[in-house]
Chain A
Amino acid sequence: DTAVSQTPKYLVTQMGNDKSIKCEQNLGHDTMYWYKQDSKKFLKIMFSYNNKELIINETVPNRFSPKSPDKAHLNLHINSLELGDSAVYFCASSQDSGTRLQYFGPGTRLLVL
């Protein structure tokens, strides 16, 4: 019954590899987000999709490409992984209108070696 789920929970990979992180929400929300939390715990928005359309695209390397096959899913694909990509990536969702309360997934801990 998890509201926002992410897979995998942990991801350890080598530099240069390509990897994907998946996110699904069963709340019926219209908007989904990817946030990055670095080693100092700073949280920063990366992308946001509303009804499968990209609405926020922060200054993120184009090695990162979000994909939203439907409004319940927002996946994050990362090409040519670098050491600095090591972080915790959080997916979140919210209803399009109203209080903008966001529900977060448990996070994916990415370690690039």
Chain B
Amino acid sequence: AQSVAQPEDQVNVAEGNPLTVKCTYSVSGNPYLFWYVQYPNRGLQFLLKYITGDNLVKGSYGFEAEFNKSQTSFHLKKPSALVSDSALYFCAVSPGRRALTFGSGTRLQVQP
């Protein structure tokens, strides 16, 4: 069975500093990997995805993620955090079946 782990419940970073939100996965076969963001009282918004190809994926709002097959990781990164990036971030995997298996979410808090 597939699974996704987000080891940090919360990540705190100062505005302007780089941020990383960690994600590791376990799946048989080739993974389809996603990051979604959820702002308070809102639905999930797609940020970026990895299907095949270049291991470094660029997405919305300046975010990027690096697929590392040997470490089974797909960490989300941004070179310079904004206060408006504060939200709940979900990593997800879609292996053989279509539905997404989500991680437990990481709350990103960017301090001014």
Select which of B34, B90, B104 is within 8 A of A101 by beta carbon: B34
Select which of B43, B46, B104 is within 8 A of A90 by beta carbon: B43
Are the C-beta atoms of B99 and A90 separated by less than 8 Å? no
**Residue count of chain B within 8 Å CB distance of chain A:** 22
Interface string of A70-97 (1 = CB under 8 A from B): 0000000000000000000010101010
CB of B101 within 8 Å of the partner chain: yes
Interface string of B30-56 (1 = CB under 8 A from A): 001010101000111110010100000
CB of B100 within 8 Å of the partner chain: yes
Are the C-beta atoms of B43 and A56 separated by less than 8 Å? no
By secondary structure, the B interface counts as strand
Looking across the interface, which residue of chain A has its beta carbon closest to that of B46?
A: A101
B21 to chain A, nearest CB (A): 14
Assuming the contacts A104-B44, A105-B43, asked whether A45 and B51 have C-beta atoms less than 8 A apart, the reply is no
A23 to chain B, nearest CB (A): 11
Are the C-beta atoms of B51 and A90 separated by less than 8 Å? no
Residues of A within 8 A of B44 (CB): 43, 90, 92, 104
Residues of B within 8 A of A56 (CB): 97-99
CB of A64 within 8 Å of the partner chain: no
Give the 9 A-B CB pairs with smallest separation, nearest first.
Answer: A45-B99, A43-B102, A104-B44, A104-B43, A106-B43, A100-B94, A41-B105, A107-B43, A48-B99
Residues of B within 8 A of A (CB): 32, 34, 36, 38, 42-46, 49, 51, 88, 90, 94, 97-102, 104-105
Residues of A within 8 A of B (CB): 4, 31, 33, 35, 40-45, 48, 50, 55-56, 90, 92, 94, 96, 99-107
